[in-house]
Amino acid sequence: MKWLVLLGLVALSECIVILPLRKMKTLRETLREKNLLNNFLEERAYRLSKRDSKITIHPLKNYLDMAYVGNITIGTPPQEFRVVFDTGSADLWVPSISCVSPACYTHKTFNLHNSSSFGQTHQPISISYGPGIIQGFLGSDTVRIGNLVSLKQSFGLSQEEYGFDGAPFDGVLGLAYPSISIKGIIPIFDNLWSQGAFSEPVFAFYLNTCKPEGSVVMFGGVDHRYYKGELNWIPVSQTRYWQISMNRISMNGNVTACSRGCQALLDTGTSMIHGPTRLITNIHKLMNARHQGSEYVVSCDAVKTLPPVIFNINGIDYPLPPQAYITKAQNFCLSIFHGGTETSSPETWILGGVFLRQYFSVFDRRNDRIGLALAV
């Protein structure tokens, strides 16, 4: 039996549940291939949203690039669903068999009548993810993530969905803090923790850079084979999202953004990096990127000459090489930096999959901290 590093302690591998994730073609890529991306984005403008007593909204989301998905089951007998494991939200939902939206016709739906362990609360819900929204009701049932079993887990069942047509997943499994979940609902990670499913309340992501296969999310511990060196620990600055303080962002030794410090969210639910539009524009000028529709086009040869973008967090530099922040799209190249967070105060950045593919990430709920190390 192999030994694993568990937050600096030694633990048996059977204490850790490792679930495979698959990198899917994103909706952004699919729409771009069909020349429909600009129209889609104009109709569903990216925005930061508010929260009121009638609607629970998870801001700082970029639905178009929710790309890493894994399987869970709900009910007795189990019904399988493909979900995004999302650190940028806290709720679990899947489509209901009673959903009337076209998006539900192309995704798996939960049949509550076929589950002997289902319980209904009759509480209506509405959850928004930037350009997408679901409306439905709450239920409870047995939810399984690999060998982990959450009994009487509350989750949402959509009856209407808007903006999720063609999405490469059925639903979302949120892993953020309970403070942003639907009022009164205990998120699945907290339920598993309280039910003694694992001794250490941590989960971690390894997002493979190139291949569709090979990415994983692990619960209850950390497998050191997925990273190099030591984990660097960063305190969570606000226990809602997985939010941390960032010192600065620089290129070629010059500070290009976050000059007086700023906040950053580590979000597995988006593959991009988002920041205030003004600062993103400055970064694009340094790349000689040109605005085209909703995106910024960069010379593919720039990968050979551009410097890394360096994120300094808790005094440690985390470089993002041009091979990571410039992506090939058909026969041209694009920047993965996008604006849209300027309505948030103070300056806020979202570090999505493009950052997390470079750095193995550990989310420690007991100590409210995030661990980062160079991914293998």
- Looking at the structure, do residues 174 and 234 belong to the same domain, yes or no? no
- Looking at the structure, do residues 166 and 22 belong to the same domain, yes or no? yes
190 assigned to active site: no
> Tokens 């979900």 map to which residue?
83
Does some domain include residue 169?
yes
- pLDDT the model gives residue 341: 86
**pLDDT tens digits for range 88-118:** 999 999 999 999 999 999 999 999 999 999 9
Does some domain include residue 217?
no
Q: CA dist 242 to 174, 214, 336, Å?
A: 11, 24, 21
- pLDDT the model gives residue 50: 31
- Looking at the structure, do residues 190 and 252 belong to the same domain, yes or no? no
267 assigned to active site: yes
Mean predicted confidence (pLDDT) in 358-369 = 97
Q: How many domains does the chain have?
A: 2
- pLDDT the model gives residue 43: 45
Among 65, 86, 170, 223, the active-site one is 86
- Looking at the structure, do residues 36 and 182 belong to the same domain, yes or no? yes
Mean residue pLDDT across the chain: 84
Q: Are strands 337-338 and 148-162 parallel, antiparallel or unpaired?
A: unpaired
Cα angle: 18, vertex 20, 26; to 5 degrees = 140
Among 65, 91, 223, 267, the active-site one is 267
316, 232 contact by CB (below 8 A): yes
Domain housing 140:
18-42+53-197
- Looking at the structure, do residues 26 and 106 belong to the same domain, yes or no? yes
- Looking at the structure, do residues 248 and 184 belong to the same domain, yes or no? no
Q: Is it the case that residue 195 has pLDDT exceeding 50?
A: yes
340, 177 contact by CB (below 8 A): no
Q: If pLDDT is split at 50, 70 and 90, which confidence band does 29 have?
A: low
Q: If pLDDT is split at 50, 70 and 90, which confidence band does 239 have?
A: very high
Residue where a domain terminates, one of 197, 212, 239:
197
SS3 220: coil
C-alpha 81: how far from its chain's center?
A: 17
CATH of the domain at 349: 2.40.70.10
Mean predicted confidence (pLDDT) in 283-302 = 90
**pLDDT tens digits for range 50-68:** 333 232 222 222 333 446 7
- Looking at the structure, do residues 247 and 107 belong to the same domain, yes or no? no
- Looking at the structure, do residues 252 and 174 belong to the same domain, yes or no? no
Residue where a domain terminates, one of 197, 213, 241:
197
